[in-house]
């Protein structure tokens, strides 16, 4: 029987980063992973059916949309033709390279990949059932649960993987739909809705709440919704789907106002169900070590420790934002704590990004949160329409907003909507990690001409000296 310092169950961003860090620190480590949706590759949801394939389609569809609708303005005349088979093939090829990359990193860091389904079989014991049904037993001083999450279901809407799909199905549709009905105006709905809208679909988004993207600063969400509406997305807010009936050619969806009123039936070629994700703990044997889950099924942790000694949990299966970089941060902190170091995650500074066009990115508190805390704050804003680089690139939509403490000037939140802001929010993550004041950013030289100058100008705005607008 193999003896390990750490066995990690799950090979997504939580699990594979934990395994690599453990290997780096000289721990004897194994990672149990069974692949996602019948696949046999490492990388979890993120690499196989999440972050990476969705970004591959977002990038390709944005290029297609630019060629069809924006190149002419730059003096480039083309008539693009969609080759969906090739678009999917390049996505699969990139994903394949990335998942192979994790295998390489495992070898480099002496991580044993135990292929199959892992089950905790009592304190310090893990059983792995391989594809051939053979069960092997392993022992470890520490077990890290990193089993991730699965799409949530909705009664009356059965995902058949054909006409009614979840995010995995929506990443691999065999044709560009003429119409797509999206249930849930969260991140998946708006990202994948954007992909298919750009490729020709009429997209209608039905959302339970009276706003889109809960958790996003309300002013940003309003601006974002306006922008997506201008692009042709239709929003039905304050509405719930009570049923969906698929036929060979499409789906009939029943929608009711949340506040009460008459139901209506909407027809669409395809339906994408994306109303959140649930922790994945099926068959994990949590009862063998006495771990209980919260009401929604999440494993509760304290600095990565579960209620069972020697058992840790990280990533989507635990409470908090379901994001790959949150899983990665928890992985590093958890393994460093196991190794006797001081692991720490700053939950106040986990950035969020929606990779649409425009992109939305933010970190720290929203205005609504600061108001609820009763914290006095100042606001600085700067529009991309006044930023020279955005202007020459014809990407002037959106703005940057910085929130800082009214007394100390410490930056409390940064909210960006505009061109490629995903690549810029890291500047504020670093500044805020060092507890910078808005004046620190305002007085830091930024390269010209770049969109990042808008971030500096917004910081200047906190003290009322924005110079370029």
Residues in Cβ contact with 377 at an 8 Å cutoff, skipping those fewer than 6 apart: 367, 370, 403, 404, 405, 406, 412
The distance in angstroms from the start CA to the end CA of the chain is 68
| Residue (119 or 451) nearer to ligand FAD, CB | 119
Find out whether 389 and 449 touch, Cβ atoms under 8 Å: yes
- From residue 464, alpha-carbon distances to 222, 361, 407, 436 in Å are 24, 23, 15, 18
Q: CB 255 → ligand NAI: shortest distance, Å? A: 9
Segment holding 49, helix H or strand E: helix 44-49
Q: CB 55 → ligand FAD: shortest distance, Å? A: 6
By a kind-dependent CB cut-off of 5 to 8 A, residue 15 interacts, out of ligand NAI, ligand FAD, none, with: ligand FAD
**Which member of 303, 325, 415, 448 is catalytic?**
448
Here's the x/- map for ligand NAI, 171-210, by CB under 6 A: it reads as: ------------xxxxxxx-x--------------xxxx-
Residues in Cβ contact with 457 at an 8 Å cutoff, skipping those fewer than 6 apart: 382, 386, 387, 400, 466, 467, 468, 469
Here's the x/- map for ligand FAD, 161-180, by CB under 6 A: it reads as: ------x-------------
| By the rule CB under 6 A, 182 interacts with ligand FAD | no
> Which two three-digit tokens encode residue 165?
């799909």
In the residue annotation, 303 being an active-site residue is answered as no
By a kind-dependent CB cut-off of 5 to 8 A, residue 13 interacts, out of ligand FAD, ligand NAI, none, with: ligand FAD
Looking at 6, 7, 8, 12, which residue binds ligand FAD (CB under 6 A)?
Answer: 12
Q: Categorise residue 412: left if φ over 0, alpha if ψ from -120 to 50, beta otherwise.
A: alpha
| Residue (191 or 453) nearer to ligand NAI, CB | 191
By a kind-dependent CB cut-off of 5 to 8 A, residue 118 interacts, out of ligand FAD, ligand NAI, none, with: ligand FAD
d(CA 191, CA 194): 5
Which residue sits closest to ligand FAD, CB atoms considered? Answer: 148
- From residue 217, alpha-carbon distances to 31, 222, 228, 280, 371 in Å are 38, 9, 16, 29, 12
Here's the x/- map for ligand FAD, 49-88, by CB under 6 A: it reads as: -xx--x----------------------------------
Find out whether 425 and 353 touch, Cβ atoms under 8 Å: yes
By a kind-dependent CB cut-off of 5 to 8 A, residue 383 interacts, out of ligand FAD, ligand NAI, none, with: none
| By the rule CB under 6 A, 11 interacts with ligand FAD | yes
- Which runs of consecutive H residues, i.e. helices, occur in 136-217? 167-170, 187-198
Q: CB 425 → ligand FAD: shortest distance, Å? A: 12
Query: Among 20, 42, 32, which Cα is nearest to 110's?
Result: 20
Return the range that interacts with ligand NAI (CB under 6 A); candidates 10-18, 140-148, 317-325, 374-382. Answer: 317-325
Find out whether 264 and 283 touch, Cβ atoms under 8 Å: no
- List contacts with ligand NAI (CB under 6 A): 154, 183-189, 191, 206-209, 214, 240-241, 274-277, 321-323, 353-355
Task: Give the interface with ligand FAD as residue ranges (CB under 6 A).
Answer: 9-15, 32-36, 44-46, 50-51, 54, 117-118, 146-149, 167, 188, 280, 283-284, 315-316, 322-325, 327, 355
Residues marked active site are found at: 448
């Amino acid at each position: 029987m193999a003896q390990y310092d750490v066995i990690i169950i799950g090979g997504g961003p939580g699990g594979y980063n934990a395994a690599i860090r453990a290997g780096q620190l000289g721990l004897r480590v194994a990672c149990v992973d069974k692949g996602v949706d019948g696949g046999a590759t490492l990388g979890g949801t993120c690499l196989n059916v999440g972050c990476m394939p969705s970004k591959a389609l977002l990038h390709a569809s944005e290029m297609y949309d630019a060629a069809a609708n924006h190149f002419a303005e730059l003096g480039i005349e083309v008539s693009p033709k969609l080759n969906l088979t090739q678009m999917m093939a390049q996505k699969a090829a990139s994903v394949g390279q990335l998942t192979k990359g994790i295998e390489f990193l495992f070898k480099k860091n002496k991580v044993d990949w135990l292929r199959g389904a892992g089950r905790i079989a009592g304190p310090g014991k893990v059983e792995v059932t391989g594809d051939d049904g053979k069960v092997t037993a392993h022992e470890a001083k520490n077990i890290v649960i990193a089993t991730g999450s699965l799409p949530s279901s909705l009664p009356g809407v059965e995902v058949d993987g054909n006409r009614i799909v979840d995010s995995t199905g929506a990443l691999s549709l065999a044709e560009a739909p003429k119409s797509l009905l999206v249930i849930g105006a969260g991140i998946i709905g708006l990202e994948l809705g954007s992909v298919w809208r750009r490729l020709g679909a009429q997209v209608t988004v039905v959302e339970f709440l009276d706003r889109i993207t809960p958790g996003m600063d309300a002013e940003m969400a309003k601006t974002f919704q306006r922008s997506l509406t201008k692009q042709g997305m239709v929003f039905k807010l304050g509405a719930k789907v009570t049923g969906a009936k698929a036929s060979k050619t499409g789906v009939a969806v029943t929608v009711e106002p949340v506040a009460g009123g008459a139901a209506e039936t909407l027809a669409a070629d395809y339906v994408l169900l994306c109303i959140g994700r649930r922790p994945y703990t099926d068959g994990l044997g949590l009862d063998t070590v006495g771990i209980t889950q919260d009401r929604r099924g999440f494993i509760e942790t304290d600095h990565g420790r579960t209620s069972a000694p020697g058992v840790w949990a990280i990533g989507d299966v635990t409470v908090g934002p379901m994001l790959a970089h949150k899983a990665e941060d928890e992985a590093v902190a958890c393994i460093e704590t196991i190794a006797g170091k001081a692991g720490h995650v700053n939950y106040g500074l986990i950035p969020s990004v929606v990779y649409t066009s425009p992109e939305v990115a933010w970190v720290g508190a929203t205005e609504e949160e600061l108001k609820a805390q009763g914290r006095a704050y100042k606001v600085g804003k700067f529009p991309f329409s006044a930023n020279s680089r955005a202007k020459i690139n014809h990407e002037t939509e959106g703005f940057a907003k910085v929130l800082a403490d009214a007394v100390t000037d410490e930056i409390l939140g940064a909210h960006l909507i505009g061109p490629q802001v995903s690549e810029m929010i890291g500047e504020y993550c670093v500044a805020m990690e060092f507890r910078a004041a808005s004046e620190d950013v305002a007085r830091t030289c930024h390269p010209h001409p770049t969109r990042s100058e808008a971030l500096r100008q917004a910081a200047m705005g906190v003290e009322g000296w924005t110079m370029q607008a």
